[in-house]
Chain A
């Protein structure tokens, strides 16, 4: 089973709202990732958690706040976003090993109004 789930599928929020994106995997993977993908562009890495600890933060603005409550769950808390933050937000997971091949969830389509 290579399933990563993400909720919600779609989210519309105003610039003053606070919302959260959720990601879950039950593959026993110990690394989890957040990516942002704009239309017709490749995914851009935002954060990486390894064994529930933040391993990589790609200089993401503080209005994005990641959280990894346990090895299966990953959240992305959103606050005071800008319209240019509208994108597809992808979660991925990998098993620490030779290649770290990543498996993606279906994504959350975020629109900031």
Chain B
């Protein structure tokens, strides 16, 4: 059974701090990794994707990938109350790229 594991949280950080969200996956052949943000009652919104080992930065967001450790993380700098949401880690299995497995999500609260 292919799995994606996340700490369910909630993770609480003060406004302006760095929020660090972590994810591990079991399928060693996975090639593509995604972070989605989902507000309550809304659909998932793609915020970051990463394919290669290392860091990828986009604004206040940095995704980090370590395929050897089967670990992917998301850093949110200068966290804002509007960042409060559930963050879903998603992994495309090595099956042609269409089959995506989602982690259970980490709930993030940013306190003003």
Of residues 7 through 64 on chain B, the ones whose CB sits less than 8 Å from some CB of chain A are 31-32, 34, 36, 42-46, 49, 51
Of residues 85 through 112 on chain B, the ones whose CB sits less than 8 Å from some CB of chain A are 88, 92, 96-105
Instruction: Given the known inter-chain contacts A42-B88, A102-B46, A104-B45, please indicate yes or no for A31 contacting B104, CB distance below 8 A.
Output: no
A50–B98 CB distance below 8 A: yes
Given the complex, which residues of B lie within 8 Å of A96, measured CB to CB?
A: 97
- Within the complex, the shortest CB–CB distance from B84 to chain A, in Å, comes to 16
Q: Which of B31, B44, B92, B105 has most chain A Cβ within 10 Å?
A: B44
Q: Which residue of B36, B45, B88, B92 contacts A100 across the interface (Cβ within 8 Å)?
A: B92
- Using a Cβ–Cβ cut-off of 8 Å, how many residues does chain B contribute to the interface with A? 23
Instruction: Given the known inter-chain contacts A41-B104, A42-B103, A56-B98, please indicate yes or no for A99 contacting B32, CB distance below 8 A.
Output: yes
- Within the complex, the shortest CB–CB distance from A60 to chain B, in Å, comes to 14
CA gap between A31 and B32 in the complex, in Å: 16
Residues 1-39 of chain A: 1 if any B CB is under 8 Å from the residue's CB, otherwise 0? 010000000000000000000000000000101000000
CA gap between A24 and B46 in the complex, in Å: 18
B98–A42 CB distance below 8 A: no
Residues 38-82 of chain A: 1 if any B CB is under 8 Å from the residue's CB, otherwise 0? 000111110010100001100000000000000000000000000
- Within the complex, the shortest CB–CB distance from B95 to chain A, in Å, comes to 8
B105–A42 CB distance below 8 A: yes
A106–B42 CB distance below 8 A: yes
Q: Which residue of A31, A43, A50, A100 contacts B102 across the interface (Cβ within 8 Å)?
A: A43
B34–A101 CB distance below 8 A: yes
CA gap between A23 and B9 in the complex, in Å: 33
Known: A42-B104, A101-B34. 10 other contacts (CB 8 A): A2-B46, A31-B98, A33-B100, A41-B104, A42-B103, A45-B101, A98-B51, A101-B46, A104-B46, A106-B43
Interchain residue pairs with CB less than 8 A apart (21): A45-B100, A45-B101, A48-B99, A50-B98, A55-B96, A90-B43, A90-B44, A94-B98, A98-B32, A99-B34, A99-B51, A99-B92, A100-B92, A100-B98, A100-B100, A101-B32, A104-B36, A104-B43, A104-B45, A104-B46, A107-B43
